[in-house]
Amino acid sequence: MRKIPTIERRVIPSEVETRTKGEGRIVIAGYAYKFHARSQNLGGFKETILEGAGKDSIERDDIRALKNHDANLILGRNRAGTLRLSEDSTGLEYEIDADERQSYVRDLLISLERGDVTQSSFGFQVMPNGEEWTRDEDDFPLRSIRALSLFDVSPVTYPAYLSSESKVDKRAIDYAASLVSEVRQAEPIRIPHPDDRDNLRYLAERARIMKLRG
């Protein structure tokens, strides 16, 4: 049986806007992701996207624009010419030709004009060898994505990274946990003075990690 790929989803707080083009045509536009922007904690690691990460996918993949990642509420499709995607110096910009004959499109346009919907999101899968792991300035695991396969872009209501609609690959979480574990195992155990609050906090955190590891 064919394995269904894990689709990860991310939300960025960039403005989604409407533009009017020739013959009264309305376009919904925004950035699905921005290069080198750091995500929040995704369950043990942070993430950033590098320049060119989606370039091949834009040319290769069949990508949809959806409302709130709902496949029943399709706004456009790149192969139909109703969704246009391009990477510039900022990130991945998208443009959707809005069709007001669809009731959910009319509802979305009202929400955008009112400022009730302001975030963009994208669904993707990391390509083989398309990521690298380092540590940030706070020694926290950092996943840098250099090649991904896009599934969809969406104007969304809620910017919830870890909700059921914003999944994170479990393999990435497990790998980040192993990096943290390696550091913890290599650290010497320090015996704090009772008045040394920093050391007491250190031991409390170490005990918490050891408990999570079982």
Residue 187, pLDDT above cutoff 80: no
| pLDDT confidence of residue 191 | 45
- Residue 83: how many CB atoms within 10 A of its CB? 22
- The answer to whether the beta carbons of residues 30 and 16 sit under 8 Å apart is yes
| pLDDT confidence of residue 40 | 82
pTM of the shown model: 0.74
Crossing angle of helices 197-213 and 170-186, in 10° steps, is 130
Residue 4 burial class via C-beta count within 10 angstroms: exposed 0-12, middle 13-18, buried 19 and up = exposed
Residue 140 burial class via C-beta count within 10 angstroms: exposed 0-12, middle 13-18, buried 19 and up = middle
* Tens-place pLDDT, residues 70-121: 999 999 999 999 999 999 999 999 999 999 999 999 999 999 999 898 889 8
Phi then psi for 165, rounded to 5 degrees?
A: -90, -5
* Tens-place pLDDT, residues 127-165: 999 999 999 998 999 999 999 999 999 998 875 443 333
Using alpha carbons only, give the angle 139, 182, 210 rounded to the nearest 5 degrees. 100
- State how far the Cα of 62 lies from the Cα of 146, in Å rounded to an integer: 20
| pLDDT confidence of residue 201 | 55
| pLDDT confidence of residue 180 | 67
